[in-house]
Structure 1
Amino acid sequence: MASPSVTSSSVASSAPSFRVWALGGIPEVRAGDDLAKLIAAAEPGLVDGDVLLVTSKIVSKAEGRVVEAADREAAIDAETVRVVARRGPLRIVENRQGLVMAAAGVDASNTPAGTVLLLPEDSDASARAVRDGLRDALGVDVGVVVTDTFGRPWRNGLTDVAIGAAGVRVLDDLRGGTDAHGNPLGATVVATADELAAAGDLVKGKAEGLPVAVVRGLSHVVASDDEPGARELVRSAADDMFRLGTSEAVREAVTLRRTVREFSDEPVDPGAVRRAVAAAVTAPAPHHTTPWRFVLLESAESRTRLLDAMREAWIEDLRRDGKSEESIAKRVRRGDVLRNAPYLVVPCLVMDGSHTYGDERRDTAEREMFVVAAGAGVQNFLVALAGERLGSAWVSSTMFCRPVVREVLSLPSSWDPLGAVAVGHAVGVARKRAVREAEAFLTVR
């Protein structure tokens, strides 16, 4: 039976066209097999400029990536470096190769019972080995793409994408050019290697036993050995707006919430702070109340006026405590984290809707309920700021001079400031947090 093929052509003879076909005659691949020799035997007529699309399964088999694993989940755990999203037994993870995909690419199909197939350890290196082998065997200069099947966010269905490449321009950066109407292209970077992989999948299929396809007619995508490979296709964490699933995003934001004491001069987006406030006011509260208020100090003048007044009040308190001027100066310097921040927020507690019992025990408990609710709102706020990639530091100082804060900021007498939150973009990378084992904080009855 002839191998499947697809031809793209146009009525206009000068228009670009290409042909893609699957290779028949490749035997069952086993550990230690030379893929380049197997491909050369199946298609000795390869020419310069062809692109080989090689299914990762046969690469993994040739490289001995078949492992004994009665429990596929354990194999997925071993290949996972980060869980991106989880729903029931399905996991989308980042694997050791930096790829974000279902089940870390661990495959239990097309492999003997009781074993699983892992992805190649370095798919770019695997592609280079096949490219070099075909150059030696046939004297041809071809591109090689190692492919695997992916699902995609927001889209149903699977398609093949490039996970390894050699001698192929994996990205075609059109930025700086213009379209057919002369409009500037400012964001267009085409994933050429993924498009090639998908084209090959049309003829290889998923169950036909045709693991290699050839594309001919697109020699312009074949390049030198210096091309960076398919790792160029993996979006960096800093640029990935959809790095996490919902529950994982919450846990990641909680983990990212760190006290930041040094901020850059980069301005803070007021919209980001308002989104964080919107998250803050979803915290639980007693009696269906809303015990939170957030005062945003967006102007340098308002921040300086408040901090100067607080410093004077603090110095007076310290002098009354009998502290030396040297000790006072040192303590005042500790408050510079607020003064150096480009944005300040003063969260406040309001007791509107609270109950008065006329009994000290119950009235104290009532206030404590509101304080706890306000604290939950502040925690929501700090976590949401981390989710916005903003650093923060909660400092308790306004709680020690509430009348001063209320006067300077013209706040109602019923608003109790609960410290101040310095907000900004952190300078440098936060130090690794000490591990706290949950068991140390648990008591089970």
Structure 2
Amino acid sequence: MTSYRVRALPGLPEVRPGDDLAKLIVAAGPGLVDGDVLLVTSKIVSKAEGRILAATDREAAIDAETVRVVARRGPLRIVENKQGLVMAAAGVDASNTAAGTVLLLPEDSDASARTIREGLRDALGVDVGVIVTDTFGRPWRNGLTDVAIGAAGVRVLEDLRGGTDAQGNPLNATVIALADELAAAGDLVKGKAEGLPVAVVSGLGHLVGDTDTDARAMVRVAADDMFRLGTSEAVREAVTQRRTVREFTDEPVDPGAVRRAVTAAVTAPAPHHTTPWRFVLLESPESRLRLLDAMRDAWIADLRRDGKSEESIAKRVRRGDLLRKAPYLVVPCLMTDGSHTYGDARRDGAEREMFVVAMGAGVQNFLVALAGERLGSAWVSSTMFCREVVRDVLDLPEGWDPMGAVAVGHAAAPPRDRPARSPESFLTVR
């Protein structure tokens, strides 16, 4: 098909709760034929279905329709609503409705589209497609356009994957959003203020017919959404969702992901413009085993000097299995060669504490960045109790102080939910 026609449908009255949209469209004399596609603005669907809410506070209505906040900038919120759509203000609209009221989106726009399609078929005997449209902004693009939020009897996606282009190149990722393209075409003739809420597309009959997919198929599922949160929201989520993982799968760890996490780690604050962090990456099983065996022997010797029984020692040593089962180990080390020497214990002690705090900030950056790479981690203190052993086995410089070990891997199971902690328990205000 090389051409099609788009026209607005004039003559529709103001829609009120309880109105039959199919009958109103028929009364307007749409001149429909088989294969036409109707593009129906969601506002009139909401009005007909009584999705009008008396609300002097639009923000409260948005709260009620919101499932998840994606991003917030001042009063503007991008959210996921109850229909699964990610959009500004949950689709709550205060325009083209009486003062003191707001319009909510249809509860099930696909069902609304089916009802209109069936009503037109019953009244006119025509087989048409119906798309319910709404206005969206889009990531990385200025301006608004109409998209499909409900559909019936029309192909919403065209999957070209597995085919080739005109030059014979394979198409590996091309899925065309047909319903959104139709919605945008209708918006060109409906406009936003002309009182023309319905448009008709003719000439694309090959897209119309019974189908088992609807507009919900166009909503990207969470697992495929690489941009699920806004920037500040993603930062908070990354920090709060960083969890200690103690059980890992056998899936190998991408060394590049660890190096990217180190890049984030070394942006932490540090005293005197120094860079006191060093990260020893144990990427070979041999190096991990050699280190862990030596640390185990040193621990057993310490426990025997403490007078622990062999049974108690065996039980304690088994705690080290976490590091043995991890597919990848990292030993963060602290360097204090940039520290100042004052000559008295109080200030020299404070100087070292500054560097230790910086080390903690660097390790926290590292752990959060690993979580961003979808890697689990556990930071344990073991290397701090046998620094000389670690330096000797790993052939590290004398000035490198091992500050624990980080087990890294793919989590064997999602961590258990952790209740949010109120900041009030940790605050003192003066």
Q: Tell me if TM exceeds 0.5.
A: yes
Paired letter, 1:62: A
Superposition pairs of residues 100-119 of structure 1, within 5 angstroms:
100-119=86-105
Per-residue CA deviation, residues 225-266 of structure 1 (Å, 9 max, x unaligned), is: 522x21211112221122222111101111221111122222
Tell me, yes or no, if the aligned pair for 2:9 and 2:30 is still in contact at 8 Å.
no
Aligned to 2:143: 157
3-state SS, counterpart of residue 133 of structure 2? strand
Superposition deviation, residue 280 in structure 1: 1.1
Tell me, yes or no, if the aligned pair for 2:251 and 2:409 is still in contact at 8 Å.
yes
Superposition deviation, residue 43 in structure 1: 3.5
Superposition deviation, residue 362 in structure 1: 1.3
3-state SS, counterpart of residue 279 of structure 2? strand
Tell me, yes or no, if the aligned pair for 2:155 and 2:211 is still in contact at 8 Å.
no
Alpha-carbon distance in 1 for matches of 2:47, 2:391: 71
Alpha-carbon distance in 2 for matches of 1:223, 1:264: 47
3-state SS, counterpart of residue 69 of structure 2? strand
Q: Identify if the C-alpha distance between structure 1 residues 386 and 221 changes in structure 2 by more than 3 Å, giving closer, same or farther.
A: same
3-state SS, counterpart of residue 335 of structure 1? helix
Tell me, yes or no, if the aligned pair for 1:44 and 1:138 is still in contact at 8 Å.
no
Superposition pairs of residues 35-50 of structure 1, within 5 angstroms:
35-50=21-36
- Matched residues, number: 430
Alpha-carbon distance in 1 for matches of 2:209, 2:352: 71
Q: Identify if the C-alpha distance between structure 1 residues 69 and 328 changes in structure 2 by more than 3 Å, giving closer, same or farther.
A: same
Superposition pairs of residues 365-404 of structure 1, within 5 angstroms:
365-404=350-389
**Selected match of 1:353 from 322, 338, 342:** 338
Which range moved further: 83-92 or 173-182? 83-92
**Selected match of 1:211 from 197, 210, 213:** 197
Q: Which runs of 5+ in 1 are unaligned?
A: 1-14
2:241 aligned with 1:256: yes
Q: Identify if the C-alpha distance between structure 1 residues 114 and 333 changes in structure 2 by more than 3 Å, giving closer, same or farther.
A: same
3-state SS, counterpart of residue 135 of structure 1? helix
Alpha-carbon distance in 2 for matches of 1:405, 1:43: 85
Q: Identify if the C-alpha distance between structure 1 residues 321 and 128 changes in structure 2 by more than 3 Å, giving closer, same or farther.
A: farther
**Selected match of 1:134 from 106, 120, 140:** 120
3-state SS, counterpart of residue 84 of structure 1? strand
2:10 aligned with 1:24: yes
Superposition pairs of residues 220-235 of structure 1, within 5 angstroms:
220-227=206-213, 229-235=214-220
**Selected match of 1:202 from 164, 188, 199:** 188
Alpha-carbon distance in 2 for matches of 1:40, 1:425: 58
Aligned to 1:421: 406
Paired letter, 1:341: A
Alpha-carbon distance in 1 for matches of 2:296, 2:40: 68
Tell me, yes or no, if the aligned pair for 1:345 and 1:420 is still in contact at 8 Å.
yes
Q: Identify if the C-alpha distance between structure 1 residues 266 and 169 changes in structure 2 by more than 3 Å, giving closer, same or farther.
A: farther
Aligned to 1:51: 37
Superposition deviation, residue 24 in structure 1: 0.9
Q: Which runs of 5+ in 2 are unaligned?
A: none
Alpha-carbon distance in 2 for matches of 1:46, 1:203: 17
2:311 aligned with 1:333: no
Per-residue CA deviation, residues 261-280 of structure 1 (Å, 9 max, x unaligned), is: 12222222222211211111
Aligned to 1:288: 273
**Selected match of 1:177 from 154, 163, 167:** 163
Alpha-carbon distance in 2 for matches of 1:173, 1:325: 65
2:157 aligned with 1:148: no
Tell me, yes or no, if the aligned pair for 1:52 and 1:142 is still in contact at 8 Å.
yes
2:282 aligned with 1:297: yes
Which range moved further: 137-146 or 389-398? 137-146
Alpha-carbon distance in 1 for matches of 2:80, 2:286: 46
Tell me, yes or no, if the aligned pair for 1:52 and 1:213 is still in contact at 8 Å.
yes
Paired letter, 1:28: E
TM-score calculated relative to the size of structure 2: 0.96
Q: Identify if the C-alpha distance between structure 1 residues 28 and 416 changes in structure 2 by more than 3 Å, giving closer, same or farther.
A: same
Alpha-carbon distance in 2 for matches of 1:42, 1:336: 75
Superposition deviation, residue 158 in structure 1: 0.8
Aligned to 2:224: 239
Per-residue CA deviation, residues 169-194 of structure 1 (Å, 9 max, x unaligned), is: 21111000111111111111111111
Tell me, yes or no, if the aligned pair for 1:91 and 1:103 is still in contact at 8 Å.
yes
TM-score calculated relative to the size of structure 1: 0.93
Superposition deviation, residue 34 in structure 1: 1.2
Alpha-carbon distance in 2 for matches of 1:404, 1:238: 44
Paired letter, 1:231: R
Alpha-carbon distance in 1 for matches of 2:44, 2:347: 72
Q: Identify if the C-alpha distance between structure 1 residues 309 and 210 changes in structure 2 by more than 3 Å, giving closer, same or farther.
A: same
Superposition deviation, residue 44 in structure 1: 4.9
Superposition deviation, residue 404 in structure 1: 1.2
Tell me, yes or no, if the aligned pair for 2:127 and 2:209 is still in contact at 8 Å.
no
Aligned to 2:307: 322
Aligned to 2:179: 193
Superposition deviation, residue 56 in structure 1: 0.8
